[in-house]
Amino acid sequence: MSEEFEAVIGLEIHVQLNTRTKLFCSCPNTYGEEPNTVVCPVCLGLPGALPVVNEEAFRLAVKVAHAFNATIHQESEFYRKNYFYPDLPKGYQITQYTRSIATDGVVEFDIDGKKRSVRIERMNIEDEAAKSIHTEDGSVLLDFNRAGIPLLEIVTRPDMRSPKEARAFLERLKQTLKYLEISNCDMEKGELRVDSNISVRPVGQEELGTKVELKNLNSFKAVEDALTYEFERQVKAIKNGEHIVQETRLWDEGARETRTMRAKEEAHDYRYFPEPDLMPVSIDEEFIKDSLKNLPELPWEKELRFERTYGLKKSQILVLTHEKDVADYFETLVAKLKKLTSKAQDAVKLAANWMTTEILRNLHESGVSISEFKFKPKDIAELLSLVLKEEITLNIAKDVFRKMQETGKGATEIVEKEGLKQVKDTDFLENVVKEVIEENPEIVEKYKKGKTGVLGFLIGQVMKKTRGKANAGIVKNLLEKKLSQ
Ligand SMILES: [Zn+2]
């Protein structure tokens, strides 16, 4: 990245609201049905069909607006955005244009330990287009099941100064939308889509450079990659004395570059006008209050509570609270584990470490979510309680966890059947220690000459002989005692 120049980035996000039915008709809002089976005259745009506004879409939008501290407008209005495209049966999209449900919000997030905030300019409720499917033989198929699903359009101010920051913003936004349960935000299913614009200017310059729009960003990684490519392309062009052309460019994932899609001259005139089939929408304070009932704890509130309640490191808190279900699992695990042991603080620490390493790695490797994870918090609490009671070592616990996954059996059963209980028998361990000392005269010599670092090696040898079951603390004491004689 060039240090003489900075990026000025704005984002436009479209997220499908998971209402029960579509925005202007009673067709169910579903995914994956047989093409063109979830349609009616309204969402097919047949002549004479009249739209009716879905109240639930407004409730969900109000939640999002509230979460990001935006001004909620009691009066909003739908407009027609006219353009001609095969996936748009009506010949226009119905959107809120300038009379939005909400304006002036802010999204706060951490990046490299620093607080950042990005302003939201507006949020609009609008309807989704049909889905075009491009086949190999070059024809285009249309699935109208998607037509009319409610979207929330979220437009930011150009407040981001690097591609990395844009990605961090998107992660926070998606996390919050998922916490609010207003959308599944699955980008592969198109439930969340991102367009971006970026211009470049010398650091310190107030005036904005020429803006380029980026499309076809199918993942947050693609957003970051495309913006990085585009930033470098623009800086290079400016340094070469070229003019940046105002245009829309497509991100080509395969070629890892952006390409011109359409220039400004070809831009559409959408001929917006108020939707004559719908009255302006009016929501009263009662409606807003009602929509905000049972609002869940939001990510930043949970982070703060985790810090106060559990006293964990910030990095660990961010991992544990990234997904609501993971945070819930952790809290249940801690509660169950505390019931099985008197060491409350150790229980929290061990549960946090186990969650952020073993369990999340396991989920990542097997590609399942925490809700699909086959072990419930009580199963893991049983395993970890054995560690806290010093019945098994941490290393053995990892083995037991592996065996739990292979056999589906409980931790206690595995430990008992396989004789994995920690060896704390001092007489027995003393003999093993003696053996190890006899077998490693050179190492012992080094230790006696002051290289006490070799103690770890000797402990390791005792562990090997006891198949990892020896209590490390006892072994260390025994070794030190014997070696000082
Ligand atoms: Zn319909």
Residue 254 shares a structural domain with residue 303: no
Across 339-368, b (16+ Cβ under 10 Å) vs e yields: ebbeeeeebbbbbbebbbebbbebeeeeee
Residue 100 CA, ligand 1 centroid: distance in Å: 24
- Residue entry with tokens 């930011």: 156
Residue 305 shares a structural domain with residue 405: yes
The per-residue DSSP string of 431-463 comes to HHHHHHHHH-HHHHHHHHTT-GGGHHHHHHHHH
pLDDT at 264 over 80: no
Residue 198 shares a structural domain with residue 337: no
pLDDT at 262 over 90: no
Residue 414 CA, ligand 1 centroid: distance in Å: 55
Residue 305 shares a structural domain with residue 187: no
Residue 94 CA, ligand 1 centroid: distance in Å: 14
* Helix ranges, 355-425 (H): 360-366, 377-388, 394-407, 411-417
Helix (H) or strand (E) holding 319: helix 314-321
Residue 86 shares a structural domain with residue 162: yes
Beta strands in 305-376 (DSSP E): none
User: Quick one: pLDDT at residue 485?
Assistant: 77
User: Quick one: pLDDT at residue 267?
Assistant: 59
Residue 80 CA, ligand 1 centroid: distance in Å: 18
Residue 19 CA, ligand 1 centroid: distance in Å: 13
Residue 125 CA, ligand 1 centroid: distance in Å: 17
User: Quick one: pLDDT at residue 471?
Assistant: 80
Length of the chain: 485
Cβ partners under 8 Å of residue 70, min gap 6:
64, 102, 103, 104, 105, 106, 120, 123
Residue 14 shares a structural domain with residue 45: yes
The Cα 80–Cα 95 span in angstroms is 6
Residue 54 shares a structural domain with residue 143: yes
**Structural domain ending residue among the three candidates 372, 393, 417:** 417
Residue 39 CA, ligand 1 centroid: distance in Å: 4
Residue 178 CA, ligand 1 centroid: distance in Å: 26
Residue 217 shares a structural domain with residue 307: no
The Cα 236–Cα 133 span in angstroms is 37
**Structural domain ending residue among the three candidates 291, 323, 349:** 291
**Tens digit of pLDDT for each residue in 192-249?**
999 999 999 999 998 999 999 998 898 999 999 999 999 999 999 999 999 898 999 9
Residue 211 CA, ligand 1 centroid: distance in Å: 38
Residue 343 shares a structural domain with residue 436: no
Tokens of 149: 């699903």
- Residue entry with tokens 């003696």: 434
User: Quick one: pLDDT at residue 60?
Assistant: 98
Residue 23 CA, ligand 1 centroid: distance in Å: 9
Give the end-to-end CA distance of the chain in Å, rounded to a whole number.
Answer: 61
User: Quick one: pLDDT at residue 240?
Assistant: 93
What's the whole-number mean pLDDT along residues 32-42?
A: 96
Residue 440 shares a structural domain with residue 404: no
**Tens digit of pLDDT for each residue in 353-407?**
999 999 999 999 989 999 999 899 999 999 999 999 888 888 889 999 999 999 9
User: Quick one: pLDDT at residue 396?
Assistant: 87
Residue 196 shares a structural domain with residue 256: yes
Residue 26 CA, ligand 1 centroid: distance in Å: 6
The Cα 19–Cα 29 span in angstroms is 7
Choose the weakest-confidence range: 19-28, 131-140, 276-285.
131-140
Percent of the chain with pLDDT over 70: 99
User: Quick one: pLDDT at residue 336?
Assistant: 95
Tokens of 53: 């506004």
Sign of CA dihedral 112, 114, 120, 123: positive
pLDDT at 1 over 60: no
**Structural domain ending residue among the three candidates 248, 266, 291:** 291
Residue 21 CA, ligand 1 centroid: distance in Å: 8
Residue 143 CA, ligand 1 centroid: distance in Å: 13
224 within 8 A of 191, measured Cβ to Cβ: no
**Tens digit of pLDDT for each residue in 416-453?**
887 777 777 788 888 888 899 999 988 888 888 888 88
Helix (H) or strand (E) holding 472: helix 472-484
Band of pLDDT at residue 463, cut at 50, 70 and 90: confident
Residue 129 CA, ligand 1 centroid: distance in Å: 12
Tell me, what CATH number does 452's domain have?
1.10.10.410
Give me the number of domains the chain comprises.
3
180 within 8 A of 63, measured Cβ to Cβ: yes
Residue 60 CA, ligand 1 centroid: distance in Å: 20
Residue 273 shares a structural domain with residue 335: no
pLDDT at 274 over 90: yes
Prediction pTM value = 0.86
The per-residue DSSP string of 107-128 comes to EEEEETTEEEEEEEEEEEEEEP
For residue 401, give its domain range: 299-417
What's the whole-number mean pLDDT along residues 253-277?
A: 84
Residue 259 CA, ligand 1 centroid: distance in Å: 36
Sign of CA dihedral 162, 164, 168, 170: positive
Residue 142 CA, ligand 1 centroid: distance in Å: 15
